[in-house]
Amino acid sequence: MDNEEQVETVVLLSHKSPDSVINVKVEFGEGDDKISLDAIAEQAKKYQPKPKITYKMIQEYVEKKYGFKVHTAYIVEVKRSLGLSMYDAPNAAEELKQPRKRPPKEKVEAIMEALKYFKVI
């Protein structure tokens, strides 16, 4: 189809009665002059937000795959070192009571693997 046209519509929702009505007939299916449902579903996937990966999900992945637990503070340190955004902690302290501890190398590698698995990095 050489004469394809793309139309975008902005709709203002209100409780008022419309001044006029336009009837549009759309046929779904395969073939000329029909809109493919598969194409619509594929296009909708592009606009889906990414699922929120939680620290708990990372911890569970690491424990299942490597057999040890990682503290959320270690996850934060790895994310911070990568320049990744972190969630706002409502209970965060203004000043640290103790200096931050660097996580052991094996735990950093496990957390990095989990971040790759969840496609964060």
| pTM for the full predicted model | 0.59
71 lies in some domain: yes
23 lies in some domain: no
Q: Where are the alpha helices (DSSP H) in the chain?
A: 37-46, 55-66, 72-82, 105-117
Question: Could you report the per-residue pLDDT of 90-114, keeping only the tens digit for each?
Answer: 777 677 777 877 899 999 999 999 9
Question: Could you report the per-residue pLDDT of 37-50, keeping only the tens digit for each?
Answer: 888 888 888 888 88
Which residue reads 């194409």 in tokens?
39
64 lies in some domain: yes
CB-count burial class (<10 Å; 0-12, 13-18, 19+) for 113: middle
48 lies in some domain: no
Q: How many domains does the chain have?
A: 1
7 lies in some domain: no
Residue of 70, 64, 61, 51 lying closest to 113 (CA atoms): 61
For residue 80, give its domain range.
55-88+95-117
